[in-house]
Structure 1
Amino acid sequence: MELTLPDEPVALAPGVPARVPVRLRNPYAQPLDLRIFMARGRAAAWATVEPSAITLGPGESTEVAVVLRTPPEQPPSSSLVPFTVHAEEAATGEPAGFATALLKVALPNPVTGQLHEKSGTRHAYDLMLSNDTGNAAPLRIVAQLDPPSGSVAVEPDAVLLEPGMTSIVAVKARPSRPFTGSAKPFALVVKATDAYDADREPYLTEVAHGTRKPLVPTLVAGAIVVLLALGATTAIVLNGGGRHKLFSLRGKADGATAAAVTPATVGRPYALIDVFPHRGADGGKAAAENEKAKLAAQGMPVRLVDSLASDVLSDENGGFYVLLQDGFAGPEQAEAYCAHWRTVAPKCRVTS
C-alpha cells in the first residue's frame, strides 16, 4: 500500500483545525479493506482521520484527510513535530503501509489578500488585504519586478491592519521597454511582511504577469533591416560578388523562418505546475514530456507549453518548457485545481 503525505511541514495555528491530505494507492491485484489511523505520539491527541475506513480495488487511488487541531492554549513553537499515518488490513490487523510528515505550531497568519489588475490602466494593480484574526497586524508592503528592469511604486507601503479591517494598496509597475523585437514578459512580485520582523516569512506573496511592448514596432524594425540589407546587397553587386552572396543571404532568412516557434495561447489565471529550462540536446523537452506523462497517468489534466511560443510566459535565460493548466473561470477555480492535485503536484501555484 502506498501512502503519500505533503513534503512541506504542516503549519498549525492554536485552536484552528487544519486538514492534511493523505493519498493512498493499492498497487496489488486484489482489493483491500483498510483502517487508517495515527500512530501514537504527541500529534495523535490532536488528530482524527476522515474517513478512517476505506476499500480500495486493484490499482485504485483515493484520498483521506487527517484533521489536526491543537488546543487553543497550545503555545507556538518553531520545533518540528513528526506524525505518522498508518494503514492496516481491517480483517487481520496486518500492517499495510505508513507515511510520516512534520508539523509545527505557529501563530495564525493575520493577512489574507489578492492582487487585482486595474481596468483601463496599464501595469497598475490593487492589493486587497484583510485581517480576520483578533490581533492587529503592522505590515510593510514591498514589490519588485522580475527581471529587475524598471521601477515599482507602492502606496501606501506600510499599513496597520486592525482586526476585521480591510485595506487596499495601490501598486504601479513601470517595466523597462525593449528597444525593438517582440513584447517582453515580466512578473510583478508583491509581498506583505511583518513591519517589525524582517526575518519572518512574508504573510502574503502575490504575483502578476504582464508584457511590455518595444519602443520600435517589429514592422518598423523589419523595414529598417530590409533597407539595410538592400543597401548591403547593392554594395555587394558593385563589388562584383553579388549574385552568389545575395542567394546566400536569402537562404539564411528562409532557415530562420522555418525554425520559428508556433505561437501558443495561455489564458490567465493559470496553474503553474513545473518548469524545465531549455538545456541539453533536446532543450529539456524529454524531461518535461516525461513529467507530463506521469501526471496524466494519475488523471491530472495538464498542458506542456514552450515559453518561447507564449507572450504570457517568461522566456529569460533561453526559455523554458512549462507544465501548466489554464481555462479557469477565475482565481478561485484555479486555486481549487491546485488544492485537488496538491499530493500529485506539490509545486502547483496560481498565477494571475
Structure 2
Amino acid sequence: MELTLPDEPVALAPGVPTRVPVQLRNPYAQPLDLRIYLARGRAAGWATVEPAGLHLGPGETAEVSVVLQTPPTQPPSSSLVPFTVHAEEATTGEPAGFATALLKVALPVPVTGKLVPKDGPQHEYDLRLANDTRVQAPLRVTAQLDPSSGSVTVEPEAVLLEPGTAAVVAVRAKPGRPFTGSPRSFAVVVKVADAYDADREPYLTLVASGTRKSRVPTTVLFVTATVLAIGASAAILLTGDHNFLPFGKKNAAGTSTAAPAKVTIGKPYALVDVFPHRGADGGKGAADAALAKLQAAGMPVRLVDSLASDTLADDPDGYWVLLQDGFGSPQAAEQYCTQWRSAAPKCKVTP
C-alpha cells in the first residue's frame, strides 16, 4: 500500500482545524478494504481521519483527509512534531502501509490579500485585504520600489480588520523615469505585517511589476544627434570655423561651456543635505548658503555636483550635494553625523 503526505511541515493555528490530504494507492492485483488511523503520539489526540475506512480496487487511488485541530489554548512553538498515518487491512488488522509528516503549531495568519492594478491611473493599485478568522487583525502596510529610484505611498498605512471584514488600501507608485534608452522595469513590493509586533515576519508579501518609459526615446536622440552632426559639418565647410562645437555653447571669449570636472568621492561618506538643480541659478545659491552656514559653525563639509560624480545617484537634472568623505569606517562616519547632528539634522551615512 502506498501512502503520500505533504513534504512541507503542516502549520497549525491554535484551535483552528486544518485539513491534511493523504494520497493512497493500491499497487496490488487484489482489492483492499482499509482502515486509516494515526499512530499514538501527541498529534493523534488532535486528529480525525475522514473517511476512516475505504475500499480500493487493484491499481486504484483515493484520498482521505487528516483533520488536525489543537486546543485553542495550545501555545505556538517553532519545534516540529512528527505524525504517522497508518493503513491496515480492515478484516485482518494486518499492516498495509504508513507515511510520516511533520507539523508545528504557529500563530494564525489573520489576513489574506491581493494586489490589483487600478483601471486608468498608471502605477496605482488596490490592495484588497480580508480577515476570515475569528480574531482582530491590526495591520501595518508598507511598500517600496525595486529599484529604489522614485517614490511609493500607501493609504491608509494602518488597518484594523475585524473578524469577517475586508478593506482596501490604495498603493500609488511613482518609479524613477530614465532620461534615455529603453523602458526600465520596476517592481512594487508591498508587505502586510502585525501593527504591534515589529519582530514578527510579515503576514503577506505581494509584488506588482511594470515598466517606466524614458523621458527621451532613443530614436529621438539618434535623429537629433544626426541633424546636429550634419549641421556642424556644414558650418565647418562653409565658414572654415574649425572651432565650431555643435554640442557646446560659446561664451563671449570664444570658449565652450564644458561639463563639470569629475569628482571622486570616497566611501563611506556622510550625506549632509541635497539641493535639486532648479530655479534661475540651478539651486546653486541655496546650496552655497547652506555650505557657508555649516562652515561658519566649524563643520567640515564640501559641496559636490552630482553630475560630476559616478558615486552619487541623481536624476537627469542633477543635485548639489553637501557631504563629507575620507572616513576610515562607517563607524567613523556615524560619529561625524552624531557630532554635528544639531547643525545638520539630515546627516546620514552611506556605506
Q: Shorter-chain-normalised TM-score: which range?
A: 0.5 to 0.7
> Deviation string for 1:16-72 (max 9, x for gaps)?
211111223344455443322111111112111122223344544332211112223
1:126 equivalenced with 2:126 (yes/no): yes
- Match for residue 75 of structure 2? 75
> Relative to structure 1, is the Cα distance of residues 94 and 153 closer, same or farther in structure 2, using a 3 angstrom cutoff?
same
- Match for residue 249 of structure 1? none
- Report deviation, 1:120: 0.7
2: CA distance between counterparts of 1:148 and 1:57? Answer: 59
The answer for unaligned runs of 5 or more in structure 1 is 232-352
Where does 1:3-42 land on structure 2 (aligned, <5 Å)? 3-42=3-42
- Report deviation, 1:172: 1.4
- Match for residue 194 of structure 1? 194
- Match for residue 108 of structure 2? 108
> Deviation string for 1:237-296 (max 9, x for gaps)?
xxxxxxxxxxxxxxxxxxxxxxxxxxxxxxxxxxxxxxxxxxxxxxxxxxxxxxxxxxxx
> Relative to structure 1, is the Cα distance of residues 197 and 211 closer, same or farther in structure 2, using a 3 angstrom cutoff?
same
> Relative to structure 1, is the Cα distance of residues 88 and 134 closer, same or farther in structure 2, using a 3 angstrom cutoff?
closer
Where does 1:185-334 land on structure 2 (aligned, <5 Å)? 185-217=185-217
> Deviation string for 1:81-117 (max 9, x for gaps)?
2211112233433323222222222333222332222
Instruction: Compare the two structures and name the one with the higher helix fraction.
Output: 1
Give the share of equivalent positions with the same residue, in percent: 74
- Report deviation, 1:187: 3.5
- Report deviation, 1:125: 0.9
Letter in 1 for 2:209: H
- Match for residue 92 of structure 2? 92
1: CA distance between counterparts of 2:199 and 2:113? Answer: 21
Q: Which structure carries more relative contact order (alpha carbon 8 Å, separation 6+)?
A: 1
Letter in 2 for 1:127: L
- Match for residue 43 of structure 1? 43
- Match for residue 153 of structure 2? 153
1: CA distance between counterparts of 2:99 and 2:199? Answer: 32
C-alpha RMSD over aligned residues: 3.4
Letter in 1 for 2:212: R
Letter in 2 for 1:206: L
Letter in 1 for 2:13: A
2: CA distance between counterparts of 1:28 and 1:212? Answer: 60
> Relative to structure 1, is the Cα distance of residues 58 and 158 closer, same or farther in structure 2, using a 3 angstrom cutoff?
same
> Relative to structure 1, is the Cα distance of residues 148 and 59 closer, same or farther in structure 2, using a 3 angstrom cutoff?
farther
- Of structures 1 and 2, the larger Rg is shown by 2
2: CA distance between counterparts of 1:182 and 1:111? Answer: 39
1: CA distance between counterparts of 2:99 and 2:181? Answer: 52
2: CA distance between counterparts of 1:213 and 1:84? Answer: 56
> Relative to structure 1, is the Cα distance of residues 71 and 217 closer, same or farther in structure 2, using a 3 angstrom cutoff?
same
> Relative to structure 1, is the Cα distance of residues 183 and 35 closer, same or farther in structure 2, using a 3 angstrom cutoff?
farther
2: CA distance between counterparts of 1:105 and 1:114? Answer: 26
Letter in 1 for 2:34: L
Letter in 2 for 1:72: P
> Relative to structure 1, is the Cα distance of residues 36 and 186 closer, same or farther in structure 2, using a 3 angstrom cutoff?
farther
Count matched residues: 229
> Relative to structure 1, is the Cα distance of residues 31 and 120 closer, same or farther in structure 2, using a 3 angstrom cutoff?
same
> Relative to structure 1, is the Cα distance of residues 45 and 126 closer, same or farther in structure 2, using a 3 angstrom cutoff?
same
- SS of aligned partner of 2:190: strand
1: CA distance between counterparts of 2:90 and 2:171? Answer: 57
- SS of aligned partner of 2:85: strand
2: CA distance between counterparts of 1:198 and 1:34? Answer: 49
- Match for residue 64 of structure 2? 64
2: CA distance between counterparts of 1:69 and 1:211? Answer: 46
The answer for unaligned runs of 5 or more in structure 2 is 231-351
- Match for residue 143 of structure 1? 143
> Relative to structure 1, is the Cα distance of residues 165 and 27 closer, same or farther in structure 2, using a 3 angstrom cutoff?
same
